[in-house]
Structure 1
């Protein structure tokens, strides 16, 4: 069963309220997401496929960077869209759709990471994530030497391991800011906290990464 089939297999609500849905030509990209949710509330199953076509990859990438392997990230991405489908009747476009969707994904990831800490014997055979490029790499050195270029793969692994070693509360803020390119205000909305709290967590996360990655470089230089 694919992701949309899994979501649509959930029981339908007995009553569906009707909403006016403008044509696609009259809508921007953000409005299209809102319109899809309205169509989904009316029973148009194709709306879920449209939402997934736009958001499945970003949500999966976000979760992959948080949980550290593909199998868990895929399961959580699936559950994110299941939760989205189940919320089709109660969703109201009071905030950007991306904020709403990433809130679901972030909550699922945090719950999963808490569960994983309580079950330390849990091992998933998924592949290591590709964290991708970001300004996190600039913490190490803005002008890498030729020798550092030769160890590019090792440096990527060091960055990935350092991010995954962060406490979940710091990790999710860092990933949303560095990799998803969201503002402090957007992250605060997603996580239900103040922008000052976001700024503090991000500062602490970057400080930890800087220390760990500087240590990595010093070890490489000494080897």
Structure 2
């Protein structure tokens, strides 16, 4: 039979952490550290920074556990903390996110290549990662939350501190910007003008 913590939702586990059952944070870490690291890696384009920020997020979850609300979404709360931790990191390092060499993305924790994957598909994914890295920070952030982390627009709006409609508009505009960059990269004659 499965352990009781495995049967509890993220929300129930975080309520337990808030109420002093600190071991429940370990279960939340096991469930969420990979996707959180993936989000932060794509946001920062820096593996070391993403690892550090991921650790800080879980430390802040423990430190600020009393701020977790009964009616809140754990995932939205976690990504809200992650955004704040990333902003603190950028402020401290006085640098904005920068484009990453696509060759370095092969080490990314979220990459799960399949043996039967076609070369064209790999090329498309590499092109998409490059296009994503060239987006403005705010555009990349909203797309990562809405499309890659698969949060609802209500959760994204809560994280970004805007209305659901504004979150949808931001995601829509960011998706168009990503598409434009992707197609320019795909066309070699235009790709040279991006350099």
Q: In which range does the TM-score fall when normalised by the shorter chain?
A: 0.7 to 0.9
Aligned to 1:190: 159
Instruction: Within 5 Å, give how 1:37-48 maps onto structure 2.
Output: 37-48=14-25
For residues 96-129 of structure 1, give each alpha carbon's deviation from its aligned partner in whole angstroms, at most 9, with x where no partner exists. 111111111122223434555x347x9x9xx434
Other-structure match for 2:126: 157
TM-score, normalising length: structure 2: 0.75
Distance 1:28 1:131, change over 3 A: closer
Task: List per-residue Cα deviations over 1:151-202 (Å, max 9, x = no partner).
Answer: 5444323211221221211111101111111222121011111122212211
**Quick one: structure 1 residues 216 and 34, their matched pair in 2 at CA, closer, same or farther if it must change by over 3 Å?**
closer
Q: Over the residues paired in the alignment, what is the CA RMSD in angstroms? A: 3.2
Write the distance in 2 (CA, Å) between the matches of 1:103 and 1:164. Answer: 21
User: Which 5+ residue runs of structure 2 have no aligned equivalent?
Assistant: 113-117
Q: 1:81, CA displacement in angstroms?
A: 0.3
How many residue pairs get aligned? The number is 178
SS in 2 for 1:45: coil
* Greater Cα radius of gyration, structure 1 or 2: 1
Which one has the bigger helix percentage? 2
Contact 2:35/2:110 (8 A) holds in 1: no
- Structure 1 residue runs of 5 or longer lacking an equivalent are 1-22, 134-148
Residue 49 of structure 1 corresponds to 26
